[in-house]
Amino acid sequence: MLTNIRLLTLAIAALYLMPAMAHDSHVHKAPWQACEQKQKSQQCSYHNGAGDLFKGTCQLFSKVLMCARNQPIIYADKLAKQAKQKIIDKASHKSSN
């Protein structure tokens, strides 16, 4: 019985920690640097350490502007595929002329 209560307590604690873990990637300065020369509500974007692209608007947090994501993350592998496709499209356009 005591073991079941401990497991239940641990499961509940884990559920409460999950939302906090979703925001633990802001350990670098990019979200703040993206808004250094901007004003509140202006569009902004930045890349994280893995090369993923975050897009949003500059918002005020603790008297400092920060780029708050309001669009889906564009992952680095998708960006690489898009860049590769642009190169292929450009090369095929040149060869057809």
DSSP bridge pairs for 67: 58
Amino acid code (one letter) for 41: S
CA dihedral sign of residues 38, 33, 44, 87: positive
Question: Which residues are registered as beta bridge partners of 58?
Answer: 67
Residues with Cβ < 8 Å from 36, sequence gap 6 or more? 65
Say whether pLDDT at 20 is over 50: no
pLDDT at site 1: 61
* Region 25-38 average pLDDT: 86
At residue 94's C-alpha, the angle toward residues 74 and 84, to 5°, is 20
Residue 33 has pLDDT above 90, yes or no: yes
Best mean pLDDT range from 58-62, 76-80, 92-96 = 58-62
Confidence of residue 53 (pLDDT cuts 50, 70, 90): very high
